[in-house]
Structure 1
Amino acid sequence: MDSSASPKPEQPTASTNAAAIADLLGNPTAQQQPVGKSSRRGWVWLLVLLPLVVTGVFLSPRLLEFLPETNQTADLTGMPLYTVQRRNLQITVTEEGSLVSDENVDITCDVAGGATIIWLVDDGDRVAEGMDIVKLDASVLSENATAQKIAYEKARALMIQADKDYEAAKIAVEEYKEGLFKKDLRTAESNVTAATERLQATQNTLAYGERMFRKGYITPQQLEAQKSAVARAKLDLGTADIALDVLTKFTKPKMITELESVRDSAAARFESEKAALELENIKLERLEGELLKCTIKAPQDGLVIYANSRSRDRETEIKEGLSVKERQVILQLPDLTRMRADVEVHESKVDEISPGMPAVVRVQDLKFSGVVTSVSNRPESNWFSTAKKYVVGVRIDGKSEALRPGFTAEATIIVADLKDVIAVPVAAVIEDGKEFVCAVKKGKGFERRVVMLGKSDDRFVEIVEGLQEGEPVFLNPETVLGESLSRDQEQASEWSGRPNTNE
């Protein structure tokens, strides 16, 4: 058969291509329209559909969020698993702090008004009881003590004089009562007796003279003289009687009163000078005591620790030349046989700790057993952080010559020792809203499982409810459960808290 006679295949033209595109775009009349007009309409439809396709590609991941959850589309091959099992779980809280002594002997400045340090023993030196460890400036006190010594001696001299005057006054009273008065009384009585005798003698002479005058033996003048002698004797007797009466009724009480007044005044002056001397002595003893306080001796054997302090607005460094206040601590002598670690525990964990809990204390390369002795009820002031931490005291059992106050210590407090409980790594639990969930492997997929948590340490958490022994759980639940987590959770992360139960 002649090949030239066979019909040749028809070559496509521009008009046929445009008609085909128009037909695909849903225009049944494309083949009936002119070729140029059909081509232009095809390009218009292409420009309209292209933005819609791009928008669909961009929005498709977000539209998938509103599709029903599925646990069969994720590729779980090679993801780490953990088989749920029972184990012993020791719940601990580990924090760092520093060593302090349970018993410190504080060396303070006891000088009234404070003083200036002129010498002190080196920080960290070992001292023996009775050694000089601090010397304070005593120059002003020494001058004051010397002046006070002079004042004391003057007061003592005045007191001695007052004492002697008082003794003399007491003797004067007794002297008059028992000596001078009796002598004056006897003199007065003797005068009365003598006057009485003279009166009697003159009266006898007058009576004899009168007889003699009647007989003419004496003259009238002699008789008158005898009568005058009797009158004078009567006057002398009356004077003697008056003197005796004045002595007993007036002179004696007056003299006793005067002497007793002098005696009592001397006694009062003596008591005054005595009190003044005691006051001056107290002042002197106080100054001498202050002088002794300027040299501080070690009350016991021990290691010297400077009592440096630091506050928000200033830092105090104990050194020579520092002016210290009265009762300010200068040094400390800690008892190195009774040491403890004071560690700062965050407020989220402090409620789990109580006195009596066992602990392990690590200091450098040393390890000691210990026990919690105290939990502070107020947080420590920290000007550099807003985190609230509480000081927990852990007593160290045992002794070591290597321990020093201020050493960094790490205390591991055993909060609970759980036996044979279901536990999983903390990486297997994630917080989803108000729930804690795990991703449990089911065949080739997974199951979102809500669990109830118990206690935990830094590695494992107790599962109170929600998992069974032998079930496999994923160690990266965030990746596995990413699409099934709560939509209001902006960023899921590995759970690391310590709740006792689910919220």
Structure 2
Amino acid sequence: MSWIKSRKFILFLVLSLCAAGGVLLYLKIQESRAAGRKQESKAPDRIYKVKSGDMVIGIMLKGSVNARTKHKLALEAPFSTKLIKVVDENAKVKAGDIIAEFETSDLLIKIDDYKLTIEQTKKDLAISKEERDVLISTNNEDLRTARDKVTECEDAYIRYVRLEGPRDRDTQELAVSDAEKELSESSDALNTARDNYYNKVFSDTTEEKTARQAVETAEKKVQSAQTKLNSARLAKKLFKRYTYPNKLQDLRNRLAQAKLGYEKTRVRTQSMLTQKDNQIYRLELTIRNNERQLESHASWVPMMQLLAPVSGIVTYGDPDRFWGNPEVKVGMDGRRKQVIITIPDMSKMIVDVNLPEQYRSKVAIDDPVIITPDSIQTIKIKGSIESIAALPVNIIPWDKSTPKIYRTIVTFRDNNPKIVSGMSVQVEVVSKILRNVIHIPIEAVFEEGGQLLVYRKALAGPEKVSVKIGASSDSAVEILEGLKEGDEVFLYRPFQAKMN
């Protein structure tokens, strides 16, 4: 029994909690509806008071205010560095202010290295030029020595051919002639001695002995003269066959060696001088290259500071680039020609407009426009179409399926300090202006059963009024019949709003 009672109690408790939750949810819903009705009662009706005035007929386009001139600042020096200082974005600067600085320590070290290299290379160049002067003197001395050797060998050769050779040949011939003469004389003396010995009758033995000794002596002289003649003839033959040709060949060889030595000396000295000239040229080229690098690096030092060319407001990156702009912050890598800061010239503003391709035939250069900022609808500024691109392009360049537009530039006729770069505006291209006509916003006109009507405000509530319209634009329509100036019309269907 106790278990049954406990079960009933738990069931009763659950039902009670559910009932309490339902009551609370109902009260919450009723409170929310009451708040909504209260809010609706406070919301004013969108009503337009009909008035007479000038009505602009044209095309409504979207545009963006831009500066005609944008001063884009980037690191011009082709040197790897880092950003160490930059002004805040949207900060106002004056012309000549330092707005960004890049780290220069590595650049200054590089400049000092070039200076040291140039100084050392100039010293090496001076030494090389002195060595070249010494080398020229040494080369001249070596060439003179080699030339003298050639001259000496030529003189020895010519002297032997013209003087010494013929002289030695004549000496040999003279020796043979003397030996022949001596042999002839000895032979005659021998014959005389023999005649005296064999044909004379001697008176005593002593005289005979003397005559016989004379014959023997004459025979010895003949033998000696014959030996001398043979020796002279042999010497002459050796001179003609061996001594003279060998001596002549030796002198020719010495002359050829002397000429070859001179040529070697000339080539060697010329090569050494050329090597020295090349060394000097390389040193001079190194100096010129380092001086050029020094001049370039020194010219980069002022580039490490970006100065404001005009007074204006700082913006980071390049506003004309849709992607690829760097994150400008201290410590970022500095790259040549990478725009990090842009200062637009606010004194000359334009509006960039994308003119749809279907409207191109309705718009021409110098057409008047009315410019209305999206953020300040009360401002109306007059302008004109300055230029229209010759060819259409896709809104998204890489997507060929997107609509095509003509890049169009609109200029302001008057300057307004409230107009700033980057502001979104509506550009109404004026094709015609209707003077002193009744017109209302286009959203106040409705169609029912093939008739155009408006909801006019009356004491008894909204009433339907048929109207006849004239010209219309993207935002307004001319009323020819049905309304008068001062009437108030709803910009929505009031009955439908109440039903909702």
Cα separation, partners in 2 of 1:341 and 1:120, compared to 1, 3 Å: same
Cα separation, partners in 2 of 1:315 and 1:102, compared to 1, 3 Å: closer
Residues 3-18 of structure 1 correspond to what in structure 2 (within 5 A)?
A: none
| Residue equivalent to 1:307 | 315
Contact 2:439 2:477 in 1 (8 A): yes
| Residue equivalent to 1:475 | 489
| Residue equivalent to 1:147 | 113
CA distance in 2, matches of 1:430, 1:369: 28
Amino acid of the residue matched to residue 141 of structure 1?
A: L
| Residue equivalent to 2:151 | 186
CA distance in 2, matches of 1:391, 1:492: 46
CA distance in 1, matches of 2:77, 2:491: 69
Sequence identity percentage: 13
Deviations 1:150-177 (A, max 9, x none): 4556666677777888898899999888
Query: Aligned to 2:432, what secondary structure does the other structure show?
Result: strand
Unmatched 5+ stretches in structure 2: 1-46, 187-220, 397-404, 457-462
Aligned match for 1:418, one of 415, 433, 440: 433
Contact 1:191 1:240 in 2 (8 A): yes
Residues 229-308 of structure 1 correspond to what in structure 2 (within 5 A)?
A: 235-248=246-259, 250-251=260-261, 254-256=264-266, 258=268, 262=272, 284-297=294-307, 300=309, 302-308=310-316
CA distance in 2, matches of 1:399, 1:436: 45
| Residue equivalent to 1:106 | 72
The alpha-carbon deviation at position 138 of structure 1 amounts to 0.7
Cα separation, partners in 2 of 1:418 and 1:396, compared to 1, 3 Å: closer
Deviations 1:347-389 (A, max 9, x none): 9999987653324568999986432446896769xxxxxxxx9
Contact 2:76 2:303 in 1 (8 A): yes
Aligned match for 1:357, one of 352, 367, 385: 367
1:431 aligns with 2:431: no
Aligned match for 2:384, one of 371, 374, 378: 371
Residues 17-96 of structure 1 correspond to what in structure 2 (within 5 A)?
A: 88-91=54-57
CA distance in 1, matches of 2:451, 2:134: 104
The alpha-carbon deviation at position 308 of structure 1 amounts to 2.3
The alpha-carbon deviation at position 307 of structure 1 amounts to 2.5
The alpha-carbon deviation at position 269 of structure 1 amounts to 6.0
| Residue equivalent to 1:200 | 166
CA distance in 1, matches of 2:491, 2:114: 86
CA distance in 2, matches of 1:492, 1:344: 40
CA RMSD in angstroms, aligned pairs only: 6.2
The alpha-carbon deviation at position 102 of structure 1 amounts to 0.6
Deviations 1:185-236 (A, max 9, x none): 3212211133342333344444555565545999989997995997867654
- Normalised TM-score (structure 1): 0.52
Cα separation, partners in 2 of 1:170 and 1:361, compared to 1, 3 Å: farther
Cα separation, partners in 2 of 1:180 and 1:161, compared to 1, 3 Å: same
CA distance in 2, matches of 1:121, 1:168: 63
Deviations 1:263-293 (A, max 9, x none): 6666666666666666656655554444342
1:395 aligns with 2:411: yes
The alpha-carbon deviation at position 462 of structure 1 amounts to 3.0
Compare relative contact order (CA 8 Å, sep 6+) and give the higher one, 1 or 2. Answer: 2
Amino acid of the residue matched to residue 305 of structure 1?
A: I
Aligned match for 1:118, one of 84, 88, 92: 84
Contact 1:306 1:332 in 2 (8 A): yes
Contact 1:375 1:390 in 2 (8 A): yes
| Residue equivalent to 1:44 | none
Amino acid of the residue matched to residue 190 of structure 1?
A: D
CA distance in 1, matches of 2:364, 2:449: 29
Contact 1:361 1:367 in 2 (8 A): yes
The alpha-carbon deviation at position 184 of structure 1 amounts to 3.3
Q: Is the helix fraction higher in 1 or 2?
A: 2
Query: Aligned to 1:475, what secondary structure does the other structure show?
Result: strand
Query: Aligned to 2:410, what secondary structure does the other structure show?
Result: strand
- Normalised TM-score (structure 2): 0.52
Query: Aligned to 1:189, what secondary structure does the other structure show?
Result: helix
Amino acid of the residue matched to residue 418 of structure 1?
A: I
User: Which stretch shifts more, 306-315 or 343-352?
Assistant: 343-352
Query: Aligned to 1:327, what secondary structure does the other structure show?
Result: coil
CA distance in 1, matches of 2:491, 2:102: 69
Deviations 1:299-326 (A, max 9, x none): x5x2143232599999978666665444
Larger Rg, first or second structure (1 or 2)? 2
Query: Aligned to 1:199, what secondary structure does the other structure show?
Result: helix
CA distance in 2, matches of 1:281, 1:111: 17
Cα separation, partners in 2 of 1:403 and 1:262, compared to 1, 3 Å: farther
Unmatched 5+ stretches in structure 1: 1-79, 381-388, 483-489, 494-503
The alpha-carbon deviation at position 395 of structure 1 amounts to 1.9
Contact 1:107 1:330 in 2 (8 A): yes
CA distance in 2, matches of 1:251, 1:369: 98
Deviations 1:375-427 (A, max 9, x none): 896769xxxxxxxx999753233668x68854968666353333369754237
Amino acid of the residue matched to residue 396 of structure 1?
A: F
